[in-house]
Amino acid sequence: MKILLLSDIHGNAPALKAVAAQTASTAFDLICNCGDSTVYAPFPNETLDWLRRHHAISILGNTDIKVLKLLKGKTFKKPSTEEKRVMYTWTADHLTSGNKKFLKELTKTLKLEVADHRLGLFHGSPAHHNEFLFQETPINRFHELAEKSDCDIVISGHSHSPYHKKVNHVHFINPGSVGRMFDGCPDGSYAVLELTAAGIEVEHFRCPYDIERVISALKKNRLPPIYEKMYRLGRKLN
């Protein structure tokens, strides 16, 4: 069984479609998406439409949750920076009714029984929705999470940091960010999980995409110019 692992698309449909094109020759049994599907790139509807059309198993990320709060007429204290708040508000204002409904139906976590494995989908970590787990996170933290895990495969996002670690009986996997990598390379990141009789295999990939299409859309919608620089550099600057 082959599973395409996605996370942190952040409304970047050009990057998502580039990943789809790069993997077009592979027949996936499942597509799993660990949230933050919206906010920061100006293609939230195209992104959610793709996820819906391809029956991706998705959960909510922190950006998606804040968008839902805005849709309910609520406000939030964080992020406090004006350019970030502009991006959240713009996203909430431009979602179609179908995509609003889709987001509202998602949950923060999800567990699946797949090919004799128990997969857990989390945005941050199994312990907390907003916990950052990086490649360089101390191994003791992964041991703590493994001891409490009822899943043998834990898939998460949030940190935009690709990794695969086996700790005790648990495989911890982060596919990186499709839409906003922060390591100095703007190419999208994703992973492929293969479950076979022989065991578990994980491979990470990078995928170039049409960054100028994102830049053009940011300008067209008069969104904060700092994001143009971030997308070109593959860095977080705020």
Radius of gyration of the chain (CA): 17
Give the torsion through C-alpha atoms of 161, 56, 130, 106, to 10 deg. Answer: 170
Q: Kindly report the CATH number assigned to the domain that includes residue 188.
A: 3.60.21.10
Mean pLDDT of the chain: 97
Is 226 a residue whose pLDDT tops 80?
A: yes
Q: What angle do CA 115, 50, 93 make, to 5 degrees?
A: 130
Query: What number is the average pLDDT over the span 105-114?
Result: 98
How far apart are the C-alpha atoms of 184 and 146, rounded to whole Å? 31
Query: Count of domains in the chain?
Result: 1
Please report whether residue 94 resides in a domain.
yes
The DSSP element (H or E) to which 172 belongs, if any, is strand 170-174
Given a contact cutoff of 8 angstroms between Cβ atoms, the answer to whether 41 and 214 are in contact is yes
Query: What number is the average pLDDT over the span 91-100?
Result: 99
Given a contact cutoff of 8 angstroms between Cβ atoms, the answer to whether 103 and 95 are in contact is yes
Please report whether residue 81 resides in a domain.
yes
pLDDT digits (tens, 9 = 90+) for 12-36: 999 999 999 999 999 999 999 999 9
> Residue 158 burial by CB count (10 A; 0-12/13-18/19+): exposed, middle or buried?
buried
Q: Which of 98, 96, 38 is nearest to 67 (CA)?
A: 38
Query: What number is the average pLDDT over the span 193-213?
Result: 97
Please report whether residue 137 resides in a domain.
no
Adjacency order of strands within the sheet including 30-33: 57-58, 30-33, 2-6, 188-196, 199-207
What pLDDT is recorded for position 75?
A: 84
What pLDDT is recorded for position 14?
A: 99
Given a contact cutoff of 8 angstroms between Cβ atoms, the answer to whether 177 and 157 are in contact is yes
Please report whether residue 151 resides in a domain.
no
In this structure, the number of other CB atoms found within 10 A of the CB of residue 157 comes to 30
Confidence of residue 116 (pLDDT cuts 50, 70, 90): very high
Please report whether residue 47 resides in a domain.
yes
Please report whether residue 27 resides in a domain.
yes
Encoding tokens for residue 17? 């479609």
What pLDDT is recorded for position 77?
A: 80
Please report whether residue 104 resides in a domain.
yes
Is 79 a residue whose pLDDT tops 90?
A: no
Amino acid at 25: S
Is 238 a residue whose pLDDT tops 90?
A: no
Please report whether residue 51 resides in a domain.
yes
The model carries a pTM of 0.97
The parent domain of residue 43 ranges over 2-109+174-233
